């Protein structure tokens, strides 16, 4: 139990014995820190990773009940295969995986890679697994959703063809994460489901995500920042863990409590006006369904009263 003089950390995670969680992008960075904390609290954690060998190497160092399953969020066939193989209840889904500021490229389905991986892959995964989920969906966004230049969803050009810039694409994908959470919670509430959708951002956390930046200058800047400003991956994972286990309202957004939300203990934080727009959230959902071929699977008749 935290007090006014203490800061929330992994020791405050309630007992997770008997619960099952899936963490995407779980073999390094924020993902493996999230796995370690949940498994350490008693949960059975599935590391959903693109490279099972790297996942197995990461899982070998975790104390607790874990397993590794292949999932490539840049390939909708892989997402469908992962979901089709799921049996039984799933208490918690952590949509953690992502790519950041990479050179222009496309997923196997032809989507701009950052939007396709960070948003569309998780959109499809969540909806396909939703009939199994009993408690919560946590999606990892970023403070980059509010970067200068009025970030928005480019509905007329989601792939940013002819106007691609790494940071612009990343910002769009992270804004999409928050709009997805907003609309998912609306639909869950409307359907009568007790499942909650929350979101989190890590502040500035030192992970290998920054090493793939398409700009040499930004990579240098990130390297310096990682050394002198950033939190480590364990501290960076705390907002995700807080969003996953604390009794929070649906659509809550968690981040660090320090200056500029760059580091610190997890707390509820605000989001941009663009990330709070219910009309944009509904439009993005409709477009995402069209692009992925995956729809919201729940109805009020199927879920009302189904869970206490």
189: exposed, middle or buried (C-beta count within 10 Å: 0-12, 13-18, 19+)?
middle
Which among 164, 170, 242, 253 is annotated as catalytic?
A: 170
Residue with tokens 């924020």, as numbered in its chain? 30
Q: Is 170 a catalytic residue?
A: yes
Contact status, residue 34 vs residue 237, Cβ threshold 8 Å? yes
C-alpha–C-alpha distance, residues 126 and 96, integer Å:
12
Task: Provide the phi-psi class of 293: left if phi over 0, else alpha when psi is between -120 and 50, else beta.
Answer: left
300: exposed, middle or buried (C-beta count within 10 Å: 0-12, 13-18, 19+)?
exposed
Q: Which residues are catalytic?
A: 170
């Amino acid at each position: 139990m935290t007090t006014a003089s203490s800061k929330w950390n992994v020791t405050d995670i309630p007992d997770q014995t008997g619960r099952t969680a899936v963490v995407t992008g779980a073999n390094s960075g924020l993902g493996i820190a999230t796995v370690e904390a949940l498994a350490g609290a008693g949960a059975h954690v599935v590391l959903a990773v693109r490279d099972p060998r790297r996942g197995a190497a990461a899982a070998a160092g975790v104390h607790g009940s874990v397993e590794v399953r292949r999932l490539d969020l840049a390939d909708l066939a892989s997402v469908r295969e992962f979901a089709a193989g799921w049996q039984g209840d799933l208490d918690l889904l952590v949509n953690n995986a992502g790519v950041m500021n990479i050179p222009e490229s496309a997923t196997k389905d032809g989507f701009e890679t950052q939007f396709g991986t960070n948003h569309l892959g998780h959109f499809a995964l969540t909806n396909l697994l939703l009939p199994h989920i009993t408690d919560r969906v946590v999606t990892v966004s970023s403070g980059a959703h509010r970067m200068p230049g009025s970030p928005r969803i480019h509905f007329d050009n989601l792939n940013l063809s002819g106007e691609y810039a790494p940071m612009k694409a990343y910002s769009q994908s992270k804004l999409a994460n928050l709009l997805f959470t907003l609309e998912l919670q609306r639909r869950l509430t409307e359907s009568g489901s007790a499942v909650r959708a929350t979101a989190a951002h890590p502040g500035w956390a030192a992970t290998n995500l920054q090493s793939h930046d398409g700009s040499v200058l930004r990579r240098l800047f990130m390297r310096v920042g990682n050394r002198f400003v950033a939190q480590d991956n364990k501290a960076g994972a705390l907002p995700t863990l807080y969003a996953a286990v604390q009794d929070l309202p649906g659509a809550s957004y968690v981040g660090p409590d320090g200056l500029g939300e760059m580091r610190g203990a997890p707390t509820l934080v605000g989001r941009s006006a663009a990330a709070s727009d219910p009309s944009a959230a509904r439009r993005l959902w409709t477009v995402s369904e069209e692009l992925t071929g995956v729809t919201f699977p729940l109805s009020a008749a199927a879920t009302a009263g189904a869970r206490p």
